[in-house]
Structures are given as C-alpha cells and as structure tokens.
Structure 1
Amino acid sequence: MAFRKHKIINDPVYGFIRIDDAAIFQVIEHPAYQRLRRIQQMALAQLVFPGAVHTRFQHSLGAYHLLTLALQELKNKGISISAEEQTAVKLAVLLHDAGHGPFSHALEGLIAGGLSHEQISRLMMQQLIKEIEGPLEMALSIFDRSYPRHFLHQLVSSQLDVDRMDYLMRDSFYTGVAEGIIGYDRILKMLTVEDDELMVEEKAIYSIEKFIIARRLMYWQVYLHKTVLSAETMLQKIILRARELVGRGVSVPSSPALQFFLKTSSPVDLPDAEWLHLFCQLDDMDVWMAIKLWCGHTDPVLAWLSRALLNRQLFRLELSPHPTDQQTVARLQEQCLRKFPFLHEDDLPYFVYTGTASSYAYNPADENIRILSSQHRVRDISDVENSLINHTVSIPIKKFYICYPKSLTEAML
C-alpha cells in the first residue's frame, strides 16, 4: 500500500520539518527512537544554561532536516542520488545518535560496558532491519562507511557533517550563547561532490572557518564549561559508587534496566537483542529517579553525592594548563577527611579527583574538509593561503582540572 501519511513538525530552530517517507515515519514512530525524547542533548548543561533542556530527539530531527536540504542542493548541481539512496542516508542520520544512553556523552561508556554510542546505534540499526521494510541495510552500510559512494557517509559523519551543523545551531539557540550560530544555509548551498568525495566550493571558505571557530568557542564556553564539567563528573562518580556497592552485594534500588547495567560492566552477558532491549529501556528518568532514591541510602558517600547533585551543590572545579601536583591533592584529601568524618581513605577519589578536558576544533589528520576551487583544484582547508585553520584552530587544546567540595579551603589559583 502506498504511503499516504505525511508529518509536519514545527521546529523552533528551522521552522517546519517534513516527514513524507514510510520507512522514515516508521523509524521515528518506533519506541527505540521515541526514547530519544527522554535523553537530553546536553546532559547537565542545564545547571548552567537553564534553557539547555532540548533532547536527542530534537537534534536528530534537525540533522535529518539539514541533510534533506543538502541532498536537494547536490541534486540541483546534477549529482545523481537515487531515491533509495536518499531514503537510506536520511535513515542513517536519523539513527546516528540512537545509541546514546542516559545523559548522552556524560555517561557514555560508563553505563553500557564501554560501548560507544556509535556501536550501540549499529546494533539498533541491525535490529530495525528485521522489523521495518525499507533501505535500512543500505543505511547501515552508509553509516559503516562500506557503501561505495563515500560522500553519503561524509554527510552523516565527518568534520563537516549535518550532525555538527545542527548541534551548533541548536545548542546555541537553547543556551543563548550566540557564538555557536553558523551560516549553515550558505554552507549547504556550497556543498559539492568531486571524485565521490564531499567538498565545499571555495567561495564558502569564510563560512567554513566560522563554522570551525564556532565549534571551538562552544566547547570552552558551553560543553567544557567548568561548572558543567563539575556536575557531569559528579554524576559519573555517583554511578561508579552505585556500581561499587552493587558489586559488594549492597542493595542499591533502581529500575530493572539500570539495575542490570549496574550489575554488569560487559554487554556480552546476554545476546545482542536481549541486551539491546534492556538498554532501550534506559533514559535520563531512570538515573534521576535512582539519584532521588539514593539521597537516603545507607551508604553516606552515595547519599551525600546524590543530594549534592540533586540540589546543585556542585564541587569546585579549577582548570589549569598544567597537571595538579600531588602535594596539593594530598592536602585537599586531608582536609576532606577532617571535614567529612564518614569518609574513609578509600572513599577519597569520590571527593577529590583530577582529570583532563580537551577539544579539537579541526583535526587535519582526520576526515578533512576539502575546498574545491573554480579551477577544480582540491585542497584541505588547512592548506589554503591565509587560512585561520592552518594557524590557530587546528591546534588542540588540553586543560587539566582538579575537583573537590567547595567547603574545603584550599585555593588552586
């Protein structure tokens, strides 16, 4: 039977997004995809930017919309893309983030036995192939880079993909941080394909530079904001403590799905379909509900951390270009033992800890952004004369941090 339904979604960033394909509509309606409504795009960034409460569902629809615009521009330039390929690449971009667990990147690898969200997205696509008619196998091959037309994969995953374009625009919109706004419409209109590789026409080079610079600014102003980092590392410590207690045989109440992943750190204990079914039951609500329960837990470490996060009594996090010396860490730990009598020495890593934060706005060693001149000369953007990317933005930034309760008196800076 022909597909007679279409869906119009009113998106605050782009306006109307149109869904008019049966397979795409089925995927969006699937419970595994609807689950993304319950996973926040920016984890705990809302504790700093109150408007940052948008979800993975919104982001994936936004990426789908930008991909639809990109495909239309490429077709207008005479690039042949079959109807099946169009549907397949749209499915690939819709599902590229479907494997995210609770709180997105903040708990990635911690909940699901070390698996990345890309690996879990792949498992989900393999399962959906069995349930939904349509070019999902082609979508999986595009996602996996095994489909022969490489530019389709680059639209989904590269240093200039629709995923990055949408999260910069969307995260900027919801946080109110204007530095993330990019000229996505001009970039999309300047996309082209040469020798099966995605490229950008040379006249869009300044838009590309702004895109890369915007990404760098958003990382240090939003994604790696020190208070956001503090909240997310505290969340990680809570999950690690809960898992430690479960391993000792201590009762740690939670939903059945979360209980399963607290008890096991490896996904190979169950067949993929059953493991995946349990993972698909997890979302932010499971973790928040557990944290509320753990506020009254008999373990004082778990209870204290849970109450602190729930009530936004966050640790102080101090960033530095150099690692924290061990003498400073030791002094803070000594203060911690005096301040919190319930702590034992083995508990100190939950209250005083160090780590690193790093970002790479543009990596010349990765899937490069290629610029196509009017003479059909192809260059990496970092090789273009007088390019900002060559001189500044391609240099990675790494910072070191120490995190500890604000009630301690030690000042690091």
Structure 2
Amino acid sequence: MQQPQLLHEEKVFKDPVHRYVHVRDKFIWDLINSPEFQRLRRVKQLGTSFFTFHGGEHSRFNHSLGVYELMRRILETFEGRIQLTYEEKLLCLCAALLHDVGHGPFSHSFEKVFKYHHEDWTRAILLGDTQINRILRRLDEEFPKKLAEVINKTYDNKLIVSLISSQLDADRMDYLLRDAYYTGVNYGNFEIERILRVMRPQEDGIVFKFSGMHAVEDYIMSRYQMYWQVYFHPVTRSAEVVLCKIFQRAKWLFANGYAFSQEPVMLLPFLQEKVELADYLALDESVILFYMQLWRKEDDPILKDLCARFLDRNLFKYVEYNPRDFRLLAELKKQFQQAGIDPMYYLEVDTTSDLPYDFYRAGEEEERIPIMLQMPSGELVELSQKSEIVQAISGKRRFDYKLYFPLDKVMALPGELSRKIRERLGVMEDA
C-alpha cells in the first residue's frame, strides 16, 4: 500500500459543532475536493425539516466533515490502546467521510418513489468510474472494495465497522449534535467529550467504561427525543408526504404519455427507470426545485397544485389515526372521490416508528449489536443490565400514525359535504 503524503500545511474547516475540522493528509483533502463529495453541499442533511425548523438548512457535506472529525478524534484516543495499521486508520477516516456520499435529493422521499437505496449508490460511487474511486486506488487497487465492505458492514474487522455503524458511532454522534444545533433545540445535546474519554476499543467493537454510563444514558435519551421532537415532527412529515406525491404524480404522468411543457431531461433516467451513475450524480436538490417551479405552471391540476403547496409551504393538515379503524380510511377515500378530490394524492396515512435502543437477540431480524459496559473488574456487561433508564426503553418500538389531507380543499367543498368529511376526520369547524 502506498503511503499517503501529508499536506505542506494542515487545512482547517471552521465548524460550529466541533469548532474545527482538521485535515492533514493530501489524500483526504483530494477526496473532499472531488466533484462527488462537493455535490453533497447541494443535498440537505434533514430533508424537509427546514419547513418546521427554519435553521435546519445544513447539508450532507456539513455532516460528513463532522463525522470525519469525530472519527479522527476517536482514533487519537485509541493511540496506545489498540494497534491499528495505517491502512485501517485510513479505512476509518474514509468511511466516516464518505458514508453518505450516495445520498440523493430529499433522500428518503426520492428513494421511496423511485425504488433505490442511497447505500447502493454509495458503493457505486466508491467502485465506479468516479474521481473518488481514482483517488482511493492511488493507495491500493483493493482499497475501494475494502471501504465499500466497511460501509456495507461486511468487512472482517468488526471494530472498524462499529465505529461508523453501531448504536453509538461517529455518524450518530455527529448528526444528533449537528441537527440539534441547526434546528435550535436542546434535545440532541449530550456529553460528547465524556463519551470520547470513556470509549475503549476491543477487537470486535467498542465498549464504554462503567464510570461513563450516565453519559451513554444521556446519549440514548437525546436520540430518543430528537427522533420524536425533530425527525418525526408532523409538519416535516407533511412536507414529505406532499413531496412523495409530487414524484408519484410526475412518474404517473410520464408513464401515461403526458406532454410536459418542458421535457424534464435530468429526470428522464429516473422516470424511465434506466439510471446510470452519471445521471444520479447530476441530480441534487436545486434540480428538483427547478422542476417544481416549472411544474407549478403545468396544465395537470394535481401536479400543479402539489408543487405550489410544497414551494409555498401550504402543506397538508393531519389528524391522529388508529390503524385498526380501516373503515374510516375506506369511507374517506369514497367521500374524497365523490367530492372530486383524488384520494391517491390527497389522502395519506403516514407511519413512523423508532426503537431507541435494543440488544442482541439471536435469530431475530435486524439483530443489533448491544452497547457494552466495561466493569472495573474488566467484565463486559450489556448496558440495559446496569441502567434502569435504558432498561425501561430497551426493545420497545414506538409507533405513530397520522392521516394527512388538504384541509383547504375540504373547507372549499359545498357545505354539507364539507361538514360530513370534517366530521369524519374529527376536524373542528374553525380549524
């Protein structure tokens, strides 16, 4: 393996979360300056959350640098505790920097409609005809493959995998702190310095000193609060529902021969389901927003309305929904149809769920590597066995169901029909 050269002078990014991001290797600097990584400046970290938290405009680029910096600091704390080769350290740093390079515009909404996963594109970028791949192969021809295995969680060294993908890793620690900072909430804050101090490397993963248990508890609860107060906020989910409906409508129109006033050239590979890597890399959120601006003037009333709603933040309203009340949804779909409101695009049940912490259960799907505490005796004990707080939430998945609809369209219906639908929805007269 070729030894990477150091920069003549250390490069430093000013960062609001970690204060500074330090880059010493020219190799890392070249990766940051690659077109594929720079594209992440044009992909928001929090998708549609800016509709709810106006400060949440930070990018995947922003976050990826933060994960890299945390990984760099973790490796510094491991010095003298475990022997990692130079290649292994670079695998850690590169995995931290590039773990999100495959994210697309409005990641999860776009993925849901066009049926792909960002991790597949991350591997394609690492292994395909990209500048990132050429930079990685300067070290070793096999380095891109090894890095893809780390991100895919199939690499042999479980410690390296756990540093970027576990229940307490560099990725999660950065996005909680960063998302809390930019959204202006306190939920995601936890004692990062303390966690780094009590983190200990083992051959098969990381463990935490028992004396640092409360800092780990704080992290688990911060994650729990961030998911329910920020990531699953009902207004953010409304924006995602509208966004998905825009993509679904555009896809349906294209499949049915609709003549767009201006051909959506950059989206054609996705509409035709013939996407090459170059097509994917050319797509970012500015492209999607450009087409929305065009589509709000289209002849199709549904696409036009949905795009205007998204751009002007005239989102759907919501009510709580009981998934067992299947008759309610069937009745509402029928009433919407009778009222001339297409339920395919204007009535949606959105479900979210989160499992804040879980421990290994052999044979179950999605087995999770537990967080282990290192006792003063050296014995390793699973976190929930010592923490009553974590024990109370371990393995307990929480679900939330919301029914989304355009209240303004319902209110505009003739009096009796509007009243019946609102009564079925449980919406007050003056809502």
TM-score by length of 1: 0.90
How far 1:331 sits from its partner (Å)? Answer: 4.5
Number of residues of Structure 1 aligned to a counterpart in Structure 2: 395
1:199-235, CA deviations, whole angstroms, 9 ceiling, x for partnerless residues?
Answer: 1111111111111111111111111111110111110
Give the match for residue 371 of structure 1.
373
1:122 equivalenced with 2:123 (yes/no): yes
How far 1:35 sits from its partner (Å)? Answer: 0.4
Separation in structure 1 between the aligned mates of residue 232 and residue 179 of structure 2, nearest angstrom? 13
1:322-371, CA deviations, whole angstroms, 9 ceiling, x for partnerless residues?
Answer: 316344334534553465x4x4xxx3211012131111111224121111
Q: Percent identity?
A: 30
Separation in structure 2 between the aligned mates of residue 96 and residue 119 of structure 1, nearest angstrom? 11
Q: Kindly provide the amino acid, as one letter, of the partner of residue 368 in structure 1.
A: P
Matches within 5 A, 1:164-313: 164-252=172-260, 253=262, 255-264=264-273, 269=274, 275-313=276-314
1:53 equivalenced with 2:57 (yes/no): yes
Separation in structure 2 between the aligned mates of residue 74 and residue 4 of structure 1, nearest angstrom? 23
1:359 equivalenced with 2:362 (yes/no): no
Q: 1:324 to 1:288 in 2, by over 3 A?
A: farther
Q: 1:115 to 1:90 in 2, by over 3 A?
A: same
Q: Kindly provide the amino acid, as one letter, of the partner of residue 353 in structure 2.
A: S
Structure 1: where are the runs of 5+ without partners? none
Identify which of 4, 8, 31 aligns with 2:12: 8
Give the match for residue 150 of structure 1.
158
| SS of equivalent residue, structure 2 residue 399 | strand
Separation in structure 2 between the aligned mates of residue 10 and residue 247 of structure 1, nearest angstrom? 47
Q: Kindly provide the amino acid, as one letter, of the partner of residue 270 in structure 2.
A: F
| SS of equivalent residue, structure 1 residue 178 | coil
Q: Is the 8 A contact 1:226 1:318 kept in 2?
A: no
How far 1:319 sits from its partner (Å)? Answer: 3.2
Separation in structure 2 between the aligned mates of residue 254 and residue 397 of structure 1, nearest angstrom? 43
Greater displacement, 41-50 / 123-132: 123-132
Separation in structure 1 between the aligned mates of residue 303 and residue 38 of structure 2, nearest angstrom? 31
Q: 1:281 to 1:28 in 2, by over 3 A?
A: same
Q: Kindly provide the amino acid, as one letter, of the partner of residue 306 in structure 1.
A: C
Identify which of 36, 41, 45 aligns with 2:40: 36
Give the match for residue 82 of structure 1.
85
Q: Kindly provide the amino acid, as one letter, of the partner of residue 91 in structure 2.
A: A
Separation in structure 2 between the aligned mates of residue 302 and residue 98 of structure 1, nearest angstrom? 30
Separation in structure 2 between the aligned mates of residue 108 and residue 337 of structure 1, nearest angstrom? 28
Q: Kindly provide the amino acid, as one letter, of the partner of residue 383 in structure 1.
A: Q
Separation in structure 2 between the aligned mates of residue 330 and residue 354 of structure 1, nearest angstrom? 12
1:412 equivalenced with 2:407 (yes/no): no
1:143-169, CA deviations, whole angstroms, 9 ceiling, x for partnerless residues?
Answer: 233433211110011111111001100
Q: 1:203 to 1:295 in 2, by over 3 A?
A: same
Separation in structure 2 between the aligned mates of residue 381 and residue 176 of structure 1, nearest angstrom? 30
Q: Kindly provide the amino acid, as one letter, of the partner of residue 300 in structure 2.
A: D
Q: Is the 8 A contact 2:99 2:151 kept in 1?
A: yes
1:367-413, CA deviations, whole angstroms, 9 ceiling, x for partnerless residues?
Answer: 211111111111221222x4211112531101222111122234437
How far 1:69 sits from its partner (Å)? Answer: 0.8
Give the match for residue 413 of structure 2.
none
Give the match for residue 336 of structure 1.
336
Give the match for residue 101 of structure 2.
98
Identify which of 5, 21, 24 aligns with 1:20: 24
Separation in structure 2 between the aligned mates of residue 121 and residue 87 of structure 1, nearest angstrom? 17
| SS of equivalent residue, structure 1 residue 403 | strand
Give the match for residue 111 of structure 2.
108
Separation in structure 2 between the aligned mates of residue 131 and residue 276 of structure 1, nearest angstrom? 17
Q: Is the 8 A contact 1:254 1:290 kept in 2?
A: no
Q: 1:24 to 1:171 in 2, by over 3 A?
A: same
Q: Is the 8 A contact 2:351 2:399 kept in 1?
A: yes
Q: Is the 8 A contact 1:92 1:156 kept in 2?
A: yes
Which 4+ runs in 1 deviate beyond 6 A? none
Matches within 5 A, 1:369-408: 369-384=371-386, 386-407=387-408, 408=410
Give the match for residue 418 of structure 2.
none
Q: Is the 8 A contact 1:324 1:402 kept in 2?
A: no
